[in-house]
Structure 1
Amino acid sequence: MKAHIFFAALVILASLISCAQMNPHPMEMTSAVRNAKTSVDHEALAKHYEDAAHEMQLKVEEHKKLLEEYENHPYYYPKRVQDLQAHCRSLIKSYEEAVEINMSMAKIHHQIADEVK
C-alpha cells in the first residue's frame, strides 16, 4: 500500500514539474522579427520556431505517457483520475496546436528567406 502511495505521489510530482513554464522564446521576438532583413536573419527565426515546435512536441509525448498511466492505472488516483486525464488531454491539445503554429511560422520565415536571397 505504501508503494502505491509513493508511486502516485511520484507521478503527480512528475506531472507538476512537466507543467512548469518553459521559456519558448528566449530571444526578444518583436525586435528579432522587426530587425530581420537578410536571408540569414529569417533562417535564424525559422530555426527558432522549429526548435520551439520540437520542445512542444516533446511535451506532447510526455503528456501522452502520463495520460496512458492514468488510463491504465486509475485505481492509483481514485478521487482525481478523471481530472488528471482531462488535464493531460487539454495540455496535449494545447501543445499540439503550439507545434502547428510554430511550424507554420518557421515555414513563413523559410519562404521569406528564399525571397530575400
Structure 2
Amino acid sequence: MRIWKISVILIVLALLISCAQMKPHSMDMTQAIQNAKTAADHEALARHYEAVAREMQSKVQEHKKMLEQYEAQRQFYGRRGLDMESMCHALINFYEQAVKENMDMANSHRKVAAEIK
C-alpha cells in the first residue's frame, strides 16, 4: 500500500514538472513586473494572468472529464484506474490552485492600474 502511494506521488510530480516545462511564459514576468510603471503596463499584466488562469481552467475541465471516464468505467481499469483517479484529483487540485493564484495576481494588477489612473 505504501509503495502505491509513493508511486502515485512520483507520477503526479513528474507530470507537474513536465507540464511546467512545456510552455514557458511568453514574457519575462520578473522583468515585466519590475518595469510596470503605468496603468497600461499593469492592465497588460492583469490580462496575462487572466489568460494563464483560463488556460489552467481548461486543464481543470480536461482532467475532470478524464476523472469521470475513469469513475464510469472502473471495471475496465482495475487497480490502475484508482491510480489514475488519484492522479486526476491531484492535478485538478493543482490547476484549481493555479487558477486562483493567477486571478489573485490579475486582480492585484487591476487595483494598481486603477490607483494609477
Length-normalised TM-score, structure 2: 0.80
Q: Which structure 2 segments of 5+ residues have no match?
A: 1-14
The one-letter amino acid of 1:103's match is: M
State whether residues 57 and 96 of structure 1, in contact with CA within 8 Å, keep that contact through their aligned partners in structure 2.
yes
Measure the CA separation in 2 of the matches of 1:92 and 1:28: 27
Cross-structure match for 1:105: 105
Name the SS for the 2:78 alignment partner: coil
Query: C-alpha offsets along residues 22-67 of structure 1, whole Å, 9 cap, x if unaligned?
Result: 4262210000000000000000000000000000000000000000
Distance 2:23 2:48 in 1: 12
Whichever structure has more helix as a proportion of its residues is 2
In the aligned structure 1, how far is the partner of 2:24 from the partner of 2:74? Answer: 32
1:77 match: secondary structure = helix
Q: CA RMSD in A?
A: 1.6
Q: Report the counterpart of residue 88 of structure 1 in structure 2.
A: 88
Count the aligned residue pairs.
100
SS in 1 for 2:65: helix
1:13 maps to none
User: Counterpart amino acid of 2:97?
Assistant: E
CA offset digits 1:7-36 (Å, max 9, x no partner) = xxxxxxxxxxx9762426221000000000
Correspondence for 2:9: none
- The aligned amino acid for 2:70 is Y
CA apart distance, 1:106: 0.1
In the alignment, what sits opposite 1:23? 23
Change (3 A) 1:33 1:39: same
Q: Which residue of 2 aligns with 1:64?
A: 64
Equivalent residues of 1:36, 1:42 under 8 A apart: yes
Distance 2:51 2:24 in 1: 9
Which of structure 1's runs of 4+ aligned residues deviate more than 4 A? none
For 1:74, the equivalent position in structure 2 comes to 74
For the pair 1:35 / 2:35, whether they are aligned, the reply is yes
Return closer, same or farther for 1:51/1:24 CA change in 2, 3 Å cut-off.
farther
Q: Which runs of 5+ in 1 are unaligned?
A: 1-17
State the identity as a percent: 52
